Structure 1
Amino acid sequence: MASNNLIGDDLAISEILEKPIENELIKVLKKRSNSNNFKFSIEFGSKKGANFMGNVYRILYEDENHNQSSLILKIAPKNLKRRGEFALRQMFLREIDMYDKVLVYFNEFQLSQGVDLEKDGFNEFPQYYSSISEDLFESVFLEDLRIRNFEMVNVRKETITFDHMSAVLKALGKFHAISFALKDQQPEKFKQLASLAIEQFWTQSHDMITEFEKCFEVLKEEKCFDLFEKIKKSVGDDYYSTIMCLASSQAAEPYAVICHGDVTSNNTMFSKDDEGKPNKVKIFDFQFTRYASPVIDLLLYLFCTITKELRDQHYEEFLHIYHDSLSDLLRRLGSDPQKLFPYEALLDQLQKFGVYSVFVGSLLFNQFCADEESIKKVEDSDCFVFHFSKDSKAAYNKRAMDMFVGLDRLGYI
């Protein structure tokens, strides 16, 4: 028995949960509550701007014995024009495949090699409950990480610390290690899994080109004309040809892996130890998964999220944290990291693909810095119209300059 509670200003559940989604939700709640008699309500599940490609809700439920819990429901936008422009159906099907097929097999493979998932395996993603792949009703039902005291970092108000960054890099090292091990030991199975991660996001879009050029123009605004010319030379005249090359598996081989593709502060949550320091991370939102260079997953945090000061002080240490984590799990999975992905190869991949940062940074900095009231969902007709006050434009320029200067200092552009 489900209640039809309200969300926000008299927005009824019936306005959000169309019948196929409500039916699946009832099935999930029956299983999760182990009861046929429960009630539920719904609230928004993420802060504004955190989930550009979907609508996220928190389902709060209570069984007949007054036991309470919650889960996360992510629903695809309905706007047909935007669904076509941004391949939203394909993006949701990608995420469903990741949770339902790829990550399930990653777990099975780790267990078959004697890895303790909870102790030291790759387990840094939320529990998957169910999904809907039916056209126009695409949805994913996931664990609510707040129950385990995981929280998102609001980069507008908080700073990503060394401990945050270490947790992310250790998790990514383990995540990528599984791809390398499977490529080594089960190449046909890995080929099958990698086929579920073919690039599908970067398509021609005038709006995105405008955003790229807006970001590059910051160099002129800050009187860095030589660096502007260097960036323009690095990205070329055909931005999308450059992007597709950078995001391709062919250019990354023999080191291509199944990447998350969008590892940002909006897609990570952290728990803390008894001293209040971040000690664990969970990574979610697998819509942008791609088979590409492993460094694609490192760049978004290293150059688009953390401060220049933290990066300058710990950059080499961060790379070793990532590679040590990857190497450790790779050995325990039965493969040789020195053969499959030596540290020198990591440095070469960063040199080769580092410029990818400028394209994703051009989009992320809007989300991080624009006036919050101007941030829209992808289904809105003006989703790429961002407004900046004097302060928010200054914040945008600083992030862009820190990225450009960092990439230039390391010789990535």
Structure 2
Amino acid sequence: MEGKQSCECSVNNYQRTKIVISEEFTYDLQNSINKIIIEQGYGTYEIDAGKVFTGGNNFLGELYEINVTGYNSEGHKETSLFLKHIIYNDDFRVYSIPEVYAREAFVYKELSKIYDELQVKAKIPLGERFKMVKSYNETNSKVIILDNLTKKGYKTMPRLDVMSVEFAELSIKQLAKFHALSFVLQNRNPEYFETKIKTIKQSFVFDDYWNELAKKMCDTSTARMDDATKDKIAKFFPISLEKYPKYMNGLHSKIKCLVHGDYKMNNVLLKEINGRVSEVIPIDYQQIYYGCPVIDLIYFIYAASDRNFRKQHLLYLRDVYFKTLTSFLNYFDIDSLFSSEDFEKCFKDSLDYALMYTLYMLPMFLIKEDVPDLAKDNLLEMTIKIDERFYDRMQGIVDEFIELGIL
């Protein structure tokens, strides 16, 4: 197994630096890669390994590309792997890093197979199915090992951009199918659902540390706003601290299923044909939990849109979600579980969640590329530099909720 040091080179939306596997990886991780090579039937082969730097897309894992080229009994063969390896940080107190890795391993190793079987049995056309990246059996609670789809033309949207409506529409359709499969699983195998899905609680710990972190991020979000607006947000902030955990635990809604928990633009891979988005595949299931699907939808829209985008497309995308959910459930002969009126009411009643989480988290989504090292840093002590586009986007969100009478 060989690798040579080289300078960084651009690969889609990230930087890649060659590494030596025997020096970079633990023995267990080297063993996992060797097992994959054996399973793929390689006789002779070469390995090119690189560490990936996403410029702010990932904080809680070390990312790698492993490209294997060689020969097996059938001739020339290539295998490209994408690895996300756990980091440990005792100062990271907002949730358990090992726990969220275990959740993602569960999705790729167990739940993905169940969802695939459900869709096959329902004879859903390939083009209409919920899509997932292929994972390898060596995936575990310390490392997620996936098919490297960048080699097949997939990439992520530039994380600082406002998303296109075609990307939003395709992504929301996939989200609706992900939620629908949870409802199907509950219908087809209620015992499994009760023990393996409903027991998955959201991962954040809402304690004094969280409150202090939320205040720090809220101050960052409002730093350039006028005093009158800051006063409005100051009055709203304690209300948000009380209400936000209820949203995250699904206590506000009777509509519940397995939700993604971190469905934002750079957690969706896309493929383009002639400059237009033709396909999307959701990724990154570390934050799954049993909760309200409307929260996933609101989270996605507000994380990657500006006020003008929402004025034009918010209600349309809401309706795309509901229509997709309903039509996808029809493949399984399941009638709509709730009316469009109930869904719209839940959406309207939950909308202030968007204001809460963007005040808390949007600065981290629009951080500049010199990101903090969360393997070392305490969140309360870190200094972040935010892209200038953040301030207009956050102001647009605040103005929107002032008009709605929430602020």
TM class by smaller structure: 0.7 to 0.9
| Closer, same or farther: CA 42–364 of 1 in aligned 2, 3 Å | farther
Secondary structure at the counterpart of residue 70 of structure 1: strand
Match for residue 329 of structure 1? 328
1:143 and 1:205 mapped to 2: Cα distance?
A: 40
Deviation for aligned residue 1:228: 4.8
Alpha-carbon shift at residue 112 of structure 1 (Å): 2.1
- Pair 1:30-2:38 in alignment: yes
CA distance in 2, matches of 1:119, 1:149: 18
Compare the two structures and name the one with the higher helix fraction: 1
**Where does residue 133 of structure 2 map in the other structure?**
126
Closer, same or farther in 2 for the Cα pair 1:238/1:348, shift >3 Å? closer
Q: Please say if residues 83 and 146 of structure 2, whose CA atoms lie closer than 8 Å, have aligned partners that are also in contact.
A: yes
Alignment pair present for 1:54 and 2:50: no
Q: Residue 137 of structure 2: SS of its match in structure 1?
A: strand
Q: 1:46 to 1:40 in 2, by over 3 A?
A: same
For residues 336 and 232 of structure 1, what CA distance do their matches in structure 2 show? 44
2:373 aligned to which of 374, 377, 393 = 377
* One of 146, 163, 166 as aligned partner of 1:163: 166
Q: Percent identity?
A: 19
Asked whether the 8 Å contact 1:272–1:278 carries over to 2, the reply is yes
Equivalent residue number for residue 146 of structure 2: 142
Alignment of 1:248 onto 2:249: yes
Write out per-residue CA displacement over residues 175-212 of structure 1, whole angstroms, 9 at most, x where no aligned residue: 11112233344332322331452222234363663444
C-alpha RMSD of matched pairs (Å): 2.7
1:77 aligns with 2:99: no
> Structure 2 matches for 1:211-360, cutoff 5 A?
211-215=214-218, 218-219=221-222, 221-223=224-226, 225=228, 228=230, 231-232=233-234, 234-236=236-238, 239=241, 241-253=242-254, 255-273=255-273, 275-337=274-336, 340-360=337-357
Structure 1-normalised TM-score? Answer: 0.86
- For each residue in 1:122-149, what CA deviation from the matched residue of structure 2 results, as whole angstroms up to 9, or x when unmatched? 12x2111134546xxx111011111221
Q: Which residue of 1 aligns with 2:389?
A: 395
After alignment, is 6-15 or 86-95 more displaced?
Answer: 6-15
1:324–1:300 Cα change, 3 Å: same
Residues 243, 207 of structure 1: alpha-carbon distance in 2 compared, 3 angstrom cutoff: closer
Which residue type is aligned with residue 203 of structure 2? Answer: Q
Residues of 2 paired with 1:358 and 1:216: CA distance?
Answer: 14
**How far did 1:60 drift?**
1.2
Question: Contact 2:62/2:86 (CA < 8 Å) preserved in 1?
Answer: yes
User: What residue is the counterpart of 2:180 in the other structure?
Assistant: 177
Q: TM-score, normalised by structure 2?
A: 0.87
User: Residue 58 of structure 1: CA displacement?
Assistant: 0.9
1:108 to 98, 108, 117: 117
Distance in 2 (alpha carbons) for counterparts of 1:14 and 1:264: 34
Task: State the shift of 1:218 in Å.
Answer: 4.8
Structure 2: gaps spanning 5 or more residues: 8-16
- Of the candidates 82, 94, 100, which is equivalent to residue 103 of structure 2? 94
Distance 1:62 1:110, change over 3 A: same
Distance in 2 between residues matched to 1:27 and 1:281, nearest whole Å: 30
Quote the Cα distance in structure 2 between the aligned partners of 1:202 and 1:358: 20
**Which residue identity is paired with 1:43?**
G
The count of corresponding residues between Structure 1 and Structure 2 is 394
Deviation of 1:61 after TM superposition, in Å, equals 1.2
Change (3 A) 1:348 1:315: same
Counterpart residue type for residue 312 of structure 1: K
Q: In the aligned structure 2, how far is the partner of 1:354 from the partner of 1:378?
A: 30
Distance 1:47 1:180 in 2: 34
Between the aligned partners of 1:410 and 1:36, the Cα distance in structure 2 is 65
Instruction: Give secondary structure in 2 for the equivalent of 1:140.
Output: strand
Q: Distance in 2 between matches of 1:41 and 1:205?
A: 46
The aligned counterpart of 1:42 is 49
Give the stretch that moved more between structures: 377-386 or 85-94. Answer: 377-386
When structure 1 is superposed on structure 2, of 263-272 and 363-372 the one drifting more is 363-372
Give the direction of change, closer, same or farther, for the CA distance of 1:400–1:202 in structure 2 (3 Å limit).
farther
SS where residue 372 of structure 2 aligns?
coil
1:386 to 378, 383, 386: 383
Q: Is residue 85–residue 143 contact of structure 2 (8 Å, CA) maintained in 1?
A: yes
CA contact (8 A) 2:88 2:97 kept: no
Indicate if the aligned counterparts of 1:6 and 1:42 stay in contact, CA closer than 8 A: no
2:29 is aligned to 21
The counterpart of 1:199, out of the listed 187, 197, 202, is 202
1:62 counterpart letter in structure 2: T
* 1:49 CA drift (Å): 1.3
Provide the rounded CA distance (Å) in 1 between the counterparts of 2:6 and 2:28: 20
- Asked whether the 8 Å contact 2:214–2:360 carries over to 1, the reply is yes
Q: Kindly state the Cα deviation for residue 261 of structure 1 after the two structures are TM-superposed.
A: 0.4
